Structure 1
């Protein structure tokens, strides 16, 4: 059982989802990842509160829809009793209202369940390290379809987007920029959240579409 995960795991994670198959799948991803482990699972708000009080996880992955309430209710309750827990919303709903509600109760990230397993682990690492992968600007930007999705990116993140558009792998990007591959992964985790995207392939598609548009406007470029 994942609740017997050794206490020396670098990052302790609790998963709250009412579907056991989903919980087990996520737990398998987390337990396989280096430097983290699942210390508790729960299927409801009440159970999540009880388990969190027992194990004091560093990071909580929580679904929005639970039998006795919502993930927002759970995060609000634990924010008062255990403010040190870092919460990641893992949901099927790509909804701006839910995103804003998650932000209000202190969620550090909002991830769709369509995300790849390796990306879940990357988000857990980033959030455990104190990073917030969504903010008020992200929510506001998502509500304005005409905005440039790269407007909140740092210069380094914009450069990573450009190199992804060139078809480079993470290792190739790291070599080009003379940085660690782990740093590239952290940049990608951050820029995905800021751009409102879920997968690296979406970044590549966006970069290609923007280049095609620029070429159509001026074929000499």
Structure 2
């Protein structure tokens, strides 16, 4: 009697200009059943030279290479674009230290399957790799819809209550309106819970309200306004 066939491991390629980050992610992923890190690179040139020959299923790519500030470039997103041009079946998971809406836009346009912050905990990163390897997207549908509207040039005017909020803060506000806790929002958006807490403090200040429940009431009003604008489905 033949032994049951074991599925092929998920082959992962890493790109990050910090050796300690690569080492930590490699140790994390290699310790998981069904995942194998097949290669790594520290810069764009190495990634484009090595990755295609290794035929990874998932490329875990640092958004910014050679920069430690939010103003740095998005070279990792260019690597995503170039690798997917050569390997359309490749799932690129963008990894960044900064919650940057412009980088999110660029990542979606480059064909990335997911976008997560480096503050993500280890088990969630493993789940993210498995999710994109299975062909699913980790990009928030609301963010994707905004990108498509931006491409078409038909974005609706932003209500004055939201004009001061970033797109990420608007997403968090919507989830507050749904009654989600900080921990639930963090898991939904693949953010660290501390990041969510800081974002909520920021959006409360921008909205001029002092309590979370006031933000939830505002979120509900905005949701009803959007439903009225869209009309019956």
Shorter-chain TM-score: which interval?
A: 0.5 to 0.7
Task: Give the superposition deviation at 1:28.
Answer: 0.6
**1 CA distance for matches of 2:63 and 2:81?**
12
**1 CA distance for matches of 2:52 and 2:38?**
12
Matches for 1:91-110 after TM superposition, within 5 Å? 91-110=96-115
Unaligned 5+ residue runs, structure 1?
Answer: 1-7, 152-157, 166-187
Greater alpha carbon shift after TM alignment, 141-150 vs 125-134: 141-150
TM-score by length of structure 1 reads 0.65
Partner of 2:4: none
Q: CA RMSD in A?
A: 3.8
Name the CA shift for 1:199/1:61 in 2 (closer, same or farther; >3 Å). farther
Matches for 1:60-99 after TM superposition, within 5 Å? 60-67=59-66, 70-99=75-104
TM-score by length of structure 2 reads 0.62
How many matched pairs? Answer: 176
**2 CA distance for matches of 1:83 and 1:199?**
34
**1 CA distance for matches of 2:195 and 2:100?**
21
SS state at 1:37 partner: strand
CA contact (8 A) 2:22 2:40 kept: yes
CA contact (8 A) 2:95 2:115 kept: yes
**1 CA distance for matches of 2:116 and 2:212?**
29
Confirm or deny that 1:54 pairs with 2:53. Answer: yes
Partner of 1:149: 174
CA contact (8 A) 1:45 1:69 kept: no
Name the CA shift for 1:69/1:111 in 2 (closer, same or farther; >3 Å). closer
Name the CA shift for 1:146/1:105 in 2 (closer, same or farther; >3 Å). closer
Q: Which residue, 134, 137, 141 being the options, matches 2:142?
A: 137
Confirm or deny that 1:32 pairs with 2:37. Answer: no
**1 CA distance for matches of 2:75 and 2:50?**
16
CA-to-aligned-CA distance 1:34-93 (integer Å, 9 cap, x gap): 211100001111111111121110001001122597111111111111111100111112
Name the CA shift for 1:149/1:43 in 2 (closer, same or farther; >3 Å). same
Partner of 1:112: 117
Larger radius of gyration: 2
SS state at 1:111 partner: strand
**1 CA distance for matches of 2:40 and 2:143?**
30
Task: Give the superposition deviation at 1:32.
Answer: 1.0
**2 CA distance for matches of 1:144 and 1:70?**
22
SS state at 2:77 partner: helix
**1 CA distance for matches of 2:212 and 2:65?**
43
